[in-house]
Amino acid sequence: MSDTGDNQYNYDYDLLYKLVLIGDSGVGKSNLLSRYSNNDFQINSKSTIGVEFATKAVKVDGKIIKAQIWDTAGQERYRAITKAYYRGAVGALIVYDITNTKTYENCSDWLNILSTNLENNDIVIGLIGNKKDLQHQRSVPIEEAQEFARNNQLLFTETSALSNENVEKAFTELITTIYENSKHQTGMETVTKNNSSSIGAGNTVSLTKSNKEKKSSSSGQCC
Amino acid sequence: MDQNDLPSHENYDKDFQRLQKFLNDLIKEVSVLNENTKALSPSTLNQINLDVDRSFNFVTNSKEKELLKKTLKTTIKTILERNPQWFYYQGYHDIVSFFIYYFCYIKNNEIHYRNCDSNTLISYITTFSEKFLRDFMSKNLNNSMVYLKFIPKILKKYNVYNHNIFNDSPFYGSIANIITLFTHNLNLKNMESRLAIITYVIRSENISFILIFYAKLVYHYKALIEKRIFSDEECETDPLIIQTLINTIITEELDNIDMNTLKQILKETLKDMNTMRIQNVFKYSLENKGLLINFNFNKEKVFLKNTLLVAINIVILQRMKHDISSPYTFAGTVLTINNIQKLIRYWTHERDTK
């Protein structure tokens, strides 16, 4: 997978993947996105009201994939709006702050919100523990988050938007997994340039599965 | 005011004086003193802290920044504690930041107030919130959504983007600008334009002003929007993306707008607001959601047309009453019958709609 170097909004692509960034307010979603899309980090970032988006074109298996990434507001009152943007998403990153336990605990709620608002349950979800550079303030053990990701069949990465650690990896893993799955199954809402739906979802998370089913499944893509 | 740094002196210019005059008039109308305070919930406090921490990013001096943040936090907390009927929303901190920027200055590492004191500033912001922001400060986003749903209707009125993509779906992409009255992403460069916008909002005495202003900007930058979004044959068709791109364009352009052009747009917006006759639906806040949802600009036009016809009719009837052979008699009779028929049709339609 390689970056095509084109971060502008353009129409020159083979596949379009709509991705959403969700998680509590202040966990660093906007900086993760600006780091990934523009290699930029704003120490003084502003709060996101409603939604914002950025795109990045990447090459996977010789195909240009345009990732259209929606950054959503974390405050609960904006959920009425942000969930409108989940429609058609093929990937999601649930972000928490490794120094703030509450933001990690709320990840289950974010999973539920995704499951109740997606029309298509075949979506690849990643769990991101951000602010990895603040190790001395860590309050969420990595093992616990890994376990949570494993149980819920989520991809998992700890990142630092500040030091640019694992940011590329987190998005790459998500996009590649969506692409790989799309080669095996149909029904996923990736959009090709000529607007026909392409294939979807092999090892993707089925959010309608019972917890028991989820736990017994060994085909998770986590960790 | 020094445009390169924070105002560090007590002086204030003509535009600021105008804002303060409007605010002084405003606080006379509303009693905002409420000493019965209610503590804020931990989640609200947490959200305020997070947002305050991300405010005044344009201030380079860290000590000054901290002082301003501290004042911002205290101000928001005081207002919300005294008004437990209001709920904090992300973006409220932007508006309060705007007021603090204009009414405070820093001298000897202390906050001072420009031509007012801390209580007056609290009164200004509370009254402004009561008059213009209370719909956005309700428990959930329902009222704000009604505003966003109304934007496509105004765009249609301006005859811009009559594309099906807009339909009557809410213009989500505009939310940051609407609920912060364009104060989101404040910086030293755009502060003057925001002063003009907020002053006009107060002057309009009507929150619909901001919706019409938004549509007016879309209309103003139509050519640019067409070029950047709709020129390509394979142009984007997702309404959510188009809304976001339009919003990005007008926000960026507004940051670089010439002040004379902006003032002209604001002036025209005020004029348009009066001709659109939606201010009766909004008043300061959205008084009646149902009225707005059913609001139809054409309905207003029909009503105006009928009123005009009746007025002409009355004039002709007055002239015809003494002379049965007069041409006014014939014209008056035809008009009267015609108008009665029209009014019956109009009232029947109104009744059916309700």
Q: Both tokens of residue B248? A: 């990005």
| Same domain for B304 and B184 | no
**Residue B291 in domain:** no
User: Per-residue pLDDT for B273 more than 90?
Assistant: no
| Same domain for B311 and B190 | no
| Same domain for B149 and B116 | no
Domain boundary among B84, B111, B132: B132
pTM greater than 0.90: no
Position A168 scores a pLDDT of: 97
| Same domain for B211 and B332 | no
- Tally of domains in chain B: 3
Position B238 scores a pLDDT of: 82
Non-local (6+) Cβ contacts of B283 within 8 A are B206
**Chain A with chain B: Cβ pairs closer than 8 A:** 66
Q: Are A53 and B234 a contacting pair at CB < 8 A?
A: no
| Same domain for B306 and B265 | no
The span from the CA of B191 to the CA of B202, in Å, is 17
The span from the CA of A222 to the CA of B110, in Å, is 52
Residue of chain A whose alpha carbon sits nearest to that of B90? A49
**Residue B16 in domain:** yes
**Residue B289 in domain:** no
Kindly indicate the confidence band of residue B292, based on its pLDDT and cuts at 50, 70 and 90.
low
Residue B238: left (phi > 0), alpha (psi -120 to 50), or beta? beta
Position B340 scores a pLDDT of: 75
pLDDT digits (tens, 9 = 90+) for B52-73: 999 999 999 999 999 999 999 9
What CATH number is attached to the domain comprising B29? 1.10.8
**Which residues in A have their CB inside 8 Å of a CB on B?**
9, 11, 25-26, 44-53, 68, 73, 75, 77-78, 80-81, 84-85, 193
**Residue B292 in domain:** no
* Grouped pLDDT means (10 residues each) for chain A, 223 residues: 45 88 96 96 90 93 94 92 90 98 96 86 93 97 97 97 97 96 68 44 32 33 31
Position B309 scores a pLDDT of: 74
Position B163 scores a pLDDT of: 59
Residue span of the structural domain in which B318 resides: 298-352
Residue of chain B whose alpha carbon sits nearest to that of A100? B46
Q: Both tokens of residue B338? A: 């015609």
Position B29 scores a pLDDT of: 73
Residue of chain A whose alpha carbon sits nearest to that of B239? A85
The span from the CA of B245 to the CA of B24, in Å, is 38
**Residue B313 in domain:** yes
User: A14, A90 in Cβ contact below 8 A?
Assistant: no
Non-local (6+) Cβ contacts of B274 within 8 A are none
| Same domain for B274 and B175 | yes
- Across chain B, mean pLDDT equals 84
**Residue B68 in domain:** yes
The span from the CA of B104 to the CA of B116, in Å, is 9
Position A208 scores a pLDDT of: 30
Q: Which residues of A124-134 are buried (b: 16+ CB within 10 A; e: fewer)?
A: bbbbbbbbbbe
**Residue B325 in domain:** yes
Out of A9, A50, A75, name the one closest to residue B176 (CB): A50
**Sign of the C-alpha dihedral, residues B245, B247, B248, B250?**
positive
| Same domain for B146 and B191 | yes
| Same domain for B92 and B218 | no
Bridge partners, B220 (sequence order): none
Domain boundary among B284, B312, B338: B284
Position A48 scores a pLDDT of: 94
User: Per-residue pLDDT for B313 more than 60?
Assistant: yes
pLDDT digits (tens, 9 = 90+) for B208-251: 899 999 999 999 999 998 888 877 666 677 888 889 999 999 99
The span from the CA of B175 to the CA of B136, in Å, is 10
What SS3 state is found at B22?
helix
| Same domain for B276 and B315 | no
Position B333 scores a pLDDT of: 75
Non-local (6+) Cβ contacts of B56 within 8 A are B65, B68, B69, B72, B97, B101
In angstroms, what CA-CA distances link B17 with B3, B20, B21, B101, B119? 17, 5, 6, 14, 18
| Same domain for B312 and B220 | no
Beta-carbon neighbour count of residue B101 at 10 Å? 22
One DSSP character per residue, B156-225 reads: HHTT----TTTTTS--GGGHHHHHTTT-TT--TTTHHHHHHHHHHHHHHT-THHHHHHHHHHHHHTHHHH
pLDDT digits (tens, 9 = 90+) for B2-54: 444 566 555 678 889 999 999 999 888 766 566 678 899 999 999 999 999 99
Non-local (6+) Cβ contacts of B19 within 8 A are B102, B195, B198, B199, B202
Position A191 scores a pLDDT of: 59
Q: Are A81 and B175 a contacting pair at CB < 8 A?
A: yes
Residues of A in contact with B172 (CB under 8 A): 50-51, 81, 84
| Same domain for B272 and B148 | yes
User: A19, A90 in Cβ contact below 8 A?
Assistant: yes
Kindly indicate the confidence band of residue B149, based on its pLDDT and cuts at 50, 70 and 90.
confident
| Same domain for B276 and B149 | yes
Give the pLDDT mean for B132-142: 91
Q: Are A26 and B50 a contacting pair at CB < 8 A?
A: yes
Domain boundary among B230, B259, B284: B284
Hey, of B96, B142, B182, B241, which one would you mutate to test binding to chain A, going by the most A CBs within 10 A of its CB? Answer: B241
Residue A83's φ and ψ, nearest 5 degrees, are -70, -20
Residues of A in contact with B243 (CB under 8 A): none
The span from the CA of B251 to the CA of B176, in Å, is 10
Residue of chain B whose alpha carbon sits nearest to that of A69? B241
Q: Domains in chain A, please, with CATH?
A: 15-185 (3.40.50.300)
Q: Are A49 and B180 a contacting pair at CB < 8 A?
A: yes
Q: Are A11 and B234 a contacting pair at CB < 8 A?
A: yes
